[in-house]
């Protein structure tokens, strides 16, 4: 398979996914914040809460529209650039995407229209329900997308049908309720809440800096800071669970994120370090130029034991270590050989079907079933190809974790100062909060880099590598559409940012009470 075709197909999907995730988390988080504000309006009757809710709903609407456009293009690529993938596992992957479409195009669209245009057309209670149901619809859409993604990280609830050369779903609820899916959902949604909280606080601090709309700003800050502190603390919990699940189902991803080449018992967690860029698997060079470790913490995260065994990149390639079930890990070379046997057995099975040779059919099916767990490895050329980009994973993981800790500290300080009614005077903190908005987006993108780049070279973990999943299309076509999407998405992003800045500068309705002392 043409390596450039694989690279450009991956690049196009990565481009679309990264742009899409610029819009989704703000949508998920603003849905909660504006829902709380409108609920306060319904409960108290205070117009200040209504004005705050209307302003953030307007920002939500601008962001929501662009998010839908990028999401549609993202899903279409499974048919255009990844048709082998769609054929191989479409029966499984398509189900959650279809359910997501129902939520996105029926539930979200219906209640979004009522929320955005129905202020003077429906009752207060009907409108606040529309606002909450729009957010719930967006969150449930995210659930089914993340179920599909989690299945790619940990494929379960399926069986391979040699007659059709397709994986078929055998247990829908195992897929929908897998631990990886549940944890990934909460981690992704909570990251959206955190981003939206940083966004709302930052924009509100802009008004404090400008000394305008002070009542609106303080109401928004207090709601967002509480949501942000809760979500960022819960992110630490789901992040811990993620590390455990990755160690269990994707040890190579964990090893890459830690720059761990040689594993063992009682492995420490690198808090800060500088990788040796010249380090390669199974060479004699040191993996780190400099590092600060937390002793035994990686073993604790991955195995729930301070002395637990964590395999490194070299261990996974070479095999020979004891797995949790007591068996001995195969080397990657052995897996590749078994994968080639599986591919050959599938070919023999297909020939036997054409010849209607039952004896040959049975024997080839037996060989295929015995080696099917390693089928994807048959497309791997050499053992080192299963190692993802260590540098990208290592630094992206640390960026995500460090920024997560920074946001917890930021929310705590803002809550304390707003409670003491001193935030309005802390101009330095207002500027820090405003300038922290891009950091929230960087943290989210870093998390997805670890999740998706860390899975490489697999589209589906241990089942189907990228070089066997792409479409047989012309490389120039993929390059051309990559450029078109890059230009289109950039224009859309600039337009969205421009519209949001215009609305932010304009601010909420002018007759808002500007006395911060009257904030409730």
The residues, any chain, with a CB within 8 Å of residue 425's CB and separated by 6 or more, are none
Please give the backbone phi and psi of residue 271, each rounded to the nearest 5 degrees, phi first.
Answer: -75, -45
Which tokens hold the place of 176?
A: 């929908």
pLDDT of residue 511: 47
Cβ 292 vs Cβ 273: under 8 Å: yes
Alpha-helix runs per DSSP H in 45-108: 47-80, 83-102
Alpha-helix runs per DSSP H in 271-331: 297-303, 313-318
Cβ 375 vs Cβ 342: under 8 Å: yes
Name the DSSP letter for residue 463: T
Grouping H, G, I as helix, E, B as strand and the rest as coil, residue 167 is strand
Q: Per residue in 187-197, is it b (16+ CB within 10 Å) or e — as a string?
A: bbbbbbbbbbb
Give the other-Cβ count within 10 Å of 278's Cβ.
Answer: 9
Which tokens hold the place of 338?
A: 């078994």
List, in sequence order, every residue forming a beta bridge with 169; answer none if it has no partner: 158
Q: How far is CA 252 from the centre of its chain?
A: 18
Q: Quote the longest CA-to-CA distance of the chain.
A: 86
- For residue range 22-53, list pLDDT tens digits in order: 999 999 999 999 999 999 999 999 999 999 99
Instruction: Tell me which H or E stretch contains 166.
Output: strand 166-169
Distance, CA of 102 to CA of 368 (rounded, Å) = 37
pLDDT of residue 518: 43
pLDDT of residue 517: 40
User: Which residues in the chain show pLDDT less than 70?
Assistant: 1, 103-105, 510-520
Average pLDDT, rounded, for the chain: 91
Torsion of CA 114, 119, 122, 125, to 10 degrees: 90
pLDDT of residue 105: 67
The residues, any chain, with a CB within 8 Å of residue 287's CB and separated by 6 or more, are 259, 260, 261, 262, 275, 276, 279
- For residue range 112-163, list pLDDT tens digits in order: 888 988 888 899 999 999 999 999 988 988 899 999 999 999 999 999 999 8
Cβ 183 vs Cβ 106: under 8 Å: no
251 closest CA partner among 102, 86, 475, 458: 458
Which tokens hold the place of 380?
A: 């791997």
**Residue 250 burial class via C-beta count within 10 angstroms: exposed 0-12, middle 13-18, buried 19 and up:** buried
Distance, CA of 333 to CA of 132 (rounded, Å) = 53
Tell me what percent of the residues of the chain surpass a pLDDT of 90.
76
């Amino acid at each position: 398979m043409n390596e450039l075709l694989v690279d450009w197909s991956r690049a196009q999907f990565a481009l679309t996914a990264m742009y899409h995730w610029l819009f989704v988390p703000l949508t998920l988080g603003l849905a909660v914040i504006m829902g709380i504000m409108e609920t306060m309006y319904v409960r108290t009757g205070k117009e200040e809460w209504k004005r705050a809710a209307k302003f953030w709903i307007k920002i939500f609407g601008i962001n929501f529209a662009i998010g839908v456009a990028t999401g549609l293009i993202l899903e279409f690529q499974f048919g255009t650039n990844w048709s082998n993938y769609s054929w191989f596992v479409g029966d499984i992957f398509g189900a959650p995407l279809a359910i997501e479409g129902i939520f996105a195009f029926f539930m979200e669209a219906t209640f979004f229209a009522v929320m955005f245009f129905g202020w003077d057309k429906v009752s207060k209670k009907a409108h606040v329900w529309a606002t909450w149901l729009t957010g719930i619809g967006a969150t449930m859409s995210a659930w089914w997308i993340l179920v599909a993604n989690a299945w790619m990280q940990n494929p379960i609830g399926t069986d391979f049908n040699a007659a059709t050369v397709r994986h078929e779903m055998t247990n829908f609820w195992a897929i929908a309720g897998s631990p990886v899916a549940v944890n990934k959902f909460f981690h992704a949604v909570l990251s959206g809440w955190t981003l939206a909280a940083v966004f709302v606080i930052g924009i509100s601090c802009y008004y404090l800096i400008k000394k305008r709309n002070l009542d609106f700003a303080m109401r928004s800050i207090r709601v967002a800071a509480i949501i942000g502190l809760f979500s960022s603390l819960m992110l630490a919990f789901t992040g811990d669970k993620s590390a455990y699940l990755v160690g269990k189902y994707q040890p190579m991803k964990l090893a890459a994120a830690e720059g761990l080449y040689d594993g063992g018992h009682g492995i420490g967690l690198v808090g800060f370090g500088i990788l040796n860029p010249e380090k390669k698997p199974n060479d004699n060079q040191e993996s780190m130029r400099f590092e600060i470790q937390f002793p035994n913490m990686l073993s604790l995260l991955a195995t729930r034991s301070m002395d637990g065994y964590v395999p490194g990149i070299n261990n996974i390639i070479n095999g020979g270590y004891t797995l949790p079930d007591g068996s001995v890990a195969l080397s990657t070379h052995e897996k590749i050989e078994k994968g080639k046997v599986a591919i050959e057995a599938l070919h023999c099975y297909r020939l036997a079907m054409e010849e209607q040779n039952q004896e040959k059919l049975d024997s080839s099916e037996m060989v295929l079933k015995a080696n099917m767990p390693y089928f994807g490895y048959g497309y791997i050329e050499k053992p080192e190809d299963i190692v993802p980009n260590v540098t990208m994973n290592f630094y992206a993981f640390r960026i995500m974790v460090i920024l997560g800790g920074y946001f917890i500290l930021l929310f705590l300080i803002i809550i304390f100062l707003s409670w003491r009614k001193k935030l309005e005077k802390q101009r330095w903190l207002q500027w820090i909060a405003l300038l922290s908005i891009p950091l929230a987006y960087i943290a989210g993108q870093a998390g997805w880099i670890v999740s998706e780049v860390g899975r490489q070279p697999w589209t589906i973990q241990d089942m189907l590598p990228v070089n066997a999943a792409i479409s047989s299309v012309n490389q120039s076509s993929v390059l051309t559409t990559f450029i078109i999407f890059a230009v289109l998405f950039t224009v859309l992003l600039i337009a969205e940012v421009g519209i949001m800045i215009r609305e932010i500068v304009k601010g909420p309705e002018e007759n808002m009470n500007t006395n911060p002392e009257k904030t409730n």
